[in-house]
A and B are shown apart, each in its own frame.
Chain A
Amino acid sequence: MKRRSIVKYAAFAAALSLGLTGCGGGSGSSDSKAAGTVRVTLANHVWTEGIKAAIPEFEKSTGLKVELTQLGEDQLSDQYNVKLNAGTDEIDVMMYRPLQEGKAFAKNGYLADLTSKVSQDAGWDWKDYQDGPVKASTVDGKVVGVPIITEREVLYYRKDLLKSAGLAVPKTMDELQAAAKTIAAASPDTAGFVARTGKSAAVTQFSSFLYSFGGDFVDASGKSAVGSDAAKKAYAFYGGLIKSYGPKNVSTDMSWPEAMAIFTQGKAAFYTEADSLYKNATDPAKSKVADNVGFAALPSGPAGSKPYNIPSWGLAVNKASNNQDNAWKFIQWATSKERTLAAQKAGVPGPRASVWADPAGTSTYPKDLAEAISVSAKNGVGHDRPEVVTVGKAREIVGTPIVSTITGADASTAADKASGEFQKFLDSEKK
């Protein structure tokens, strides 16, 4: 008798586990747990810290439970690659980079179409979103994401060094070069200029120089433009600035944490970087020069001051999720005007025009930074990397002349070679 019941239980357990596995793997079924739980995957970011603290509010008002997974940028990408490739329904809401992964994810069918959802609620107000971020979150006419964080490139500088050298804040690229030269010559321990140097990492920050010199990655007819005269000049300028006036023994692998460290350790006078990272430089706990950091709009090149103005992160709904309505509820709450204002006050520049128009939206920002941002928002270009499907590969190709120039190679030759490769790459994507 006893044995029989054990066998019965075992059979039941086996059937149950098989059934559950079936549910987990399939995309059309649903399990009871998912209905009341929203599974959210977010990147490590200041925005995430703010939203994490506010989640209990959401849970209380909706009765839903939020299951949060938080990962570093690279790990997040890798997770998506593995899980979405396998058709998982275990992610409902996902934080993603519209310009890096948006096209590829939309093409692969990973992102749910939110077009009808964003226009339903007039109070939430999709029209309030700035044009650039909206464009970047729309693929083939369909809205696939809601932007949450925007970025523009600005000039970070050291007020004390400029003052002691008797220099004004540079307004043009030529002035920037001259000022970097003067400061580097005056104190051998301080670099005149620092910025990202890693082949792929530098592309986004180099892009503003490229636009300000009158170039772009791709021309109006869709052909590679990284071999144009303007691009060659931009490569020579950006690379040359780091080579001649950058830190000694400069590494060619720097992304923002390394470049920011050099600036915040007091080892550089000028630094061009995304405005959304400003707290790293002004927070005394992280920066030795917190009191002396100034901000200015990107200096003008021959084509004016044209920094990028982009949404760096957005929220999307996994197309394979069985819980899309609740996922949308979460997004609607997390991107509401109130939450966007709260995030912006905590140092995360948002995509909502009304929040920027509200004096409270910029009340916590250093005054010069708020000014620089408002200038950049007007002149900004809506992308900071080639707008293609395989962005990773494209960045490596167009980034090569940057590192080549930093290490002393001829910018023109490197740009021509990269342009040939980039054209081949663009052709292969069209197939």
Chain B
Amino acid sequence: MSVLTTPRSTPSRGSDRKPSARENFSAWANRHRKWLFAAPAMIFVGVLIVFPLAWTLYLSLTDSQGSVRAASEFVGLQNYVTVLSDGERFWPAVARTLSFTGVALTCEVILGMCIALLLWRPFRGERWVRVAILLPLVATPVAVGMMWRLIFDPNIGFVNQVLGLVGIPPQPWLSGQDTALGTTIFMDVWQWTPMVVLILLAGLTSLSEEPDEAARMDGANAVQRFFFVTLPLMMPTVIVAILLRGIDALKTFDILYATKGKGGGSFHEVETLNVYAYGLSFDYNQYGLSSAVLILFFMIIIGTMWLLTMRKKAASK
């Protein structure tokens, strides 16, 4: 502790005494304290983010398969060529990842905004409604997936039985090739809209009342006030919500895996990039190819984040 209590200590005037090792260390520590304080965080980032990323990048340039410890050869960009020219699994997975994220995000933001507006003004039983809305958020995605899988089962599922009561024929939901992706999007919306509501509600409550009142005095109706006053003021918050939720939605794995299993179903109907890379690693043990997919995926995420951050800056100006 004495290191910090004697900052910038210098050897006493006129003394020829050599500084002790401890004093030397103390002086060195003081000179580099910004690095010393940041070191734990830097080590953390290095070990848990930079190293795995660099290792993945290295693996993506080799033909590693079977076991990562087995001998592998450097193959340059071969894996990237293979992946990028794969029209059967890779490109459909990219399309599914983007459409899953796009549709889920749009629904979540629109629905989230509507709910946030409803919750904005105080009302009776508000607390209970808020708790109810937040419930899906605290459930584990895998459990959510399993639950919906049972509910949507084509033969013994709850949904088809209820539909049967009102005379609607049973639908394939998760088991249909065309309906599976839509159904998983519905699950994602069910689980994550509350998070968007939370963010938007925080934004709404921090808005000042004056612009809205001024618009009301000028005779603007509720719809006009929302589109021309509230929404523009909310834009930075909306983009934060899109940014946070968007990155998460791009990476969705658990709901898809829990409902459709390896390969995203028998026809790969919900196979996104994440599910595809997982299958390449854990089912096929093709670590080189899988790493190439993950690096490309990483670039897609970074690209999307960059685009959204630019939008946020533009909106904040």
Contact = CB atoms under 8 A, between A and B. Distances in A.
B67 A251 contact: no
A81 B281 CA distance: 9
Given A197-B266, A198-B266, A249 B170 contact: yes
Interface residues of B, number: 29
Interface in A250-264: 250-253, 255, 258, 261-262
Interface in B259-290: 260-263, 265-267, 279, 281-285
A198 B285 contact: no
Contact of A109 (B67, B154, B262): B67
The prevalent SS among residues of B at the interface is: loop
Contacts of A261: 156
A403 B282 CA distance: 23
Interface stretch (A50-58, A215-223, A386-394): A386-394
B155 interface: yes
A108 B66 contact: yes
B67 A108 contact: yes
Contact of B66 (A248, A252, A389, A403): A389
A371 interface: no
A85 B68 CA distance: 6
A393 B283 contact: yes
Given A247-B155, A267-B156, A252 B281 contact: no
B175 A252 contact: yes
A77 interface: yes
B285 to A, nearest CB: 6
B153 interface: yes
Interface in B157-174: 160, 170-172, 174
Nearest to A189: B155
B155 A267 contact: yes
B283 A392 contact: yes
A63 to B, nearest CB: 35
A255 B263 CA distance: 14
A252 B263 contact: no
B291 to A, nearest CB: 13
Nearest to A200: B262
B17 interface: no
B266 A403 contact: yes
B170 A77 contact: no
Contacts of A368: none
Interface in B32-79: 66-70
A293 B265 CA distance: 31
B284 A390 contact: yes
A104 B66 contact: yes
A81 B261 contact: no
A396 B263 contact: yes
A298 B13 CA distance: 99
A91 to B, nearest CB: 15
A158 to B, nearest CB: 16
Contacts of A251: 153-155, 172, 174-175
Contacts of A304: none
Contacts of A390: 284-285
B282 A77 contact: yes
A258 to B, nearest CB: 8
A392 B262 contact: yes
A104 B283 CA distance: 11
25 contacts: A78-B282, A81-B285, A84-B67, A85-B67, A87-B69, A104-B285, A107-B66, A198-B266, A199-B263, A200-B263, A247-B155, A248-B154, A248-B155, A249-B154, A250-B155, A250-B175, A251-B172, A252-B267, A261-B156, A262-B155, A262-B156, A267-B155, A267-B156, A392-B262, A407-B177
Interface of A: 74, 77-78, 81, 84-85, 87, 104, 107-110, 197-200, 247-253, 255, 258, 261-262, 265, 267, 389-390, 392-393, 396, 399, 403, 407
Given A85-B68, A249-B172, 17 more contacts: A85-B67, A110-B67, A249-B171, A250-B155, A251-B175, A252-B175, A252-B267, A253-B175, A253-B261, A253-B265, A253-B266, A262-B155, A390-B285, A392-B283, A392-B284, A396-B263, A407-B177
4 tightest CB-CB pairs across the interface, nearest first? A251-B175, A392-B283, A108-B67, A249-B154
Interface of B: 66-70, 153-156, 160, 170-172, 174-175, 177, 260-263, 265-267, 279, 281-285
